[in-house]
Structure 1
Amino acid sequence: MTASAGTVEQLVRARLAIVLGGRRGVAESAAPIALFTLCWITTHDLKVSLGASIVAAVALLLVRVVQRSSVQFVVNALFGIGIAAVFAARSGEARDVFLPGILLNGGYAAAMIFSIVIGWPVVGFMIGSLVGDPTEWHRDKPLVKLCSQLTWVLALPCLIRVAVQYPLYVTDHVALLGTAKLALGWPLQLASFAAMAWLLGRNRTPADPETVL
């Protein structure tokens, strides 16, 4: 592997910028479900809300295709709203649009915490996979420690979403559930990224030249 930076934080920051897709990638991933929430709060019409979110996802996909840029994040969003539509269509209840997200966040949180407990934090694999060697990073203990901290930062928003949204789902408070979905979406994600930026901005952990990514 070729060194491109002098500290672990600089290396990880560069890799995460690719993994997260930048501001546009994050926005495209969140836009369809956010639009559903807004439409539901204003119309209380399940079909209209689902239709608007699906149209938005398709439009974002077409823009990416025309620009000949990566469609990864838009496809993820389209897949997500598609699964949500299936859940809601089967039950006929608007609250079930949010059930896949609750389950997904719970699953993500459980997987990330488990990875930390066993000493193989998820963020390490995210970084290592980009350079074709998913496990080489584990030889560098300071890097493992940093990846554990970053994994906790990623897991915390998932835990908060489940803790807030699940009680609202059970009690069928769709409007509050939609509001919580918005409030715990971008704001919480930005707070998470800010915490990650703070960790990565310290630039105090020397990178092991033998395990530099």
Structure 2
Amino acid sequence: MSHPANDPGARPEPEDDGVGRPAAGKAAPTAADLATQYAAKSGVRRNDAGQIDVLSSIGGVQGLAESIAPGLVFTILFTITTDLQVSLVAALAVSAVFTVIRLVSRTPVTQALAGLVGVAFCAFVALRTGNAEDFFLPGFFINGGYIIAMTASVVFRWPFAGLLFGFLRNEGIEWRRDAARVRAYSIATWIIVSVLALRLVVQVPLYLMENVAALGSTRVAMGLPLYALGMWLAWIVSRPRG
């Protein structure tokens, strides 16, 4: 899909009216437009066989490393040294290195930069409380927020999986006219919610027990790789029949 800025046949954008608002005549984005924009920015991709490309969807090997390495380094160093500050600095350094690599190689830095900000915030929380396990605390709230949002999407008949996969399958939001497709995408969304809920079920007790080694290990194992598996299962379950 070509970007309007690079498409010689694209319709020019209306000019600004001088007060920061689009000139009259520009239609407000429709639900289909918003769904398409969301899906396009999600990073989820299909391979040549028409199946979801799991590795590409999580940013490839580099994206996987960016997701796993900071938490893994923090867990290993703290387990060995029990020095919170050293462990936090090391985690931040690893995340910063990935961002620099992307800058030098001139590849998109959004994922790495978001990871760096996330690690910095986790480090800030742990440093303020003085508890190593609090490095993982913000992740619980983010995870819970996704669970609430995805559950709401099913309740309001806009299941998250449909918004994401409908774009990849060229269904747009037409699938909402078919009760069977809505049901399939709702089930697919529940699969993803189950993965997120499983993280909390396993990791919250470890957090309460202040078991940093086990918490960090399960965070790595149940992080992006498990989420990617959930996305793949959701894709399979929601595939069109016939």
- TM class by smaller structure: 0.7 to 0.9
Residue of structure 1 in register with 2:196 after alignment: 158
Question: Post-superposition shift, 1:184?
Answer: 2.0
Aligned to 2:77: 39
Match of 1:83 in 2: 121
Q: Distance in 1 between matches of 2:58 and 2:189?
A: 14
2:107 corresponds to 1:66: no
CA distance in 2, matches of 1:55, 1:44: 18
State the partner residue of 1:56.
94
Residue 13 of structure 1 is matched in structure 2 by 52
Return 5+ residue gaps in structure 2 as ranges: 2-48
Matched residue, 1:179: 217
Cα offset, 1:174, TM superposition: 2.2
Bigger proportion of residues as helix: 1
Query: TM-score, normalised to structure 2's length?
Result: 0.66
Of stretches 191-200 and 25-34 in structure 1, the one that deviates more from structure 2 is: 191-200
Amino acid at match of 1:13: I
Identity %: 36
Q: Of 123, 148, 152, which aligns to 2:186? A: 148
Alpha carbons of 1:186 and 1:124: their partners in 2 closer, same or farther (altered >3 Å)?
Answer: closer
Q: What corresponds to 2:62 in structure 1?
A: 24
Unaligned runs of 5+ in 1: 2-9, 207-213
Report the 3-state secondary structure (helix = DSSP H, G, I; strand = E; otherwise coil) of the residue aligned with 1:13.
coil
Matches within 5 A, 1:62-141: 62-126=100-164, 138-139=176-177, 141=179
Superposed CA deviations along residues 125-163 of structure 1, whole A, max 9, x for unmatched, are 345789xxx856644555544432332232222101111
State the aligned residue count.
Answer: 194
Give the letter aligned to residue 133 of structure 2. Answer: R
Q: Normalized against structure 1, the TM-score is what?
A: 0.74
Q: Assess if the C-alpha contact under 8 Å between 2:122 and 2:137 holds in 1.
A: yes
Closer/same/farther in 2, CA of residues 47 and 27 from structure 1, 3 Å limit? same
Q: Which is higher, the Rg of structure 1 or of structure 2?
A: 2
Deviation at 1:170, TM superposition (A): 1.9
Q: Which has the higher contact order (CA 8 A, sep 6+)?
A: 1
- Other-structure match for 1:4: none
Aligned residue number for residue 7 of structure 1: none
Change over 3 Å in CA distance of 1:156–1:92 after alignment to 2:
same
Distance 2:114 2:75 in 1: 18
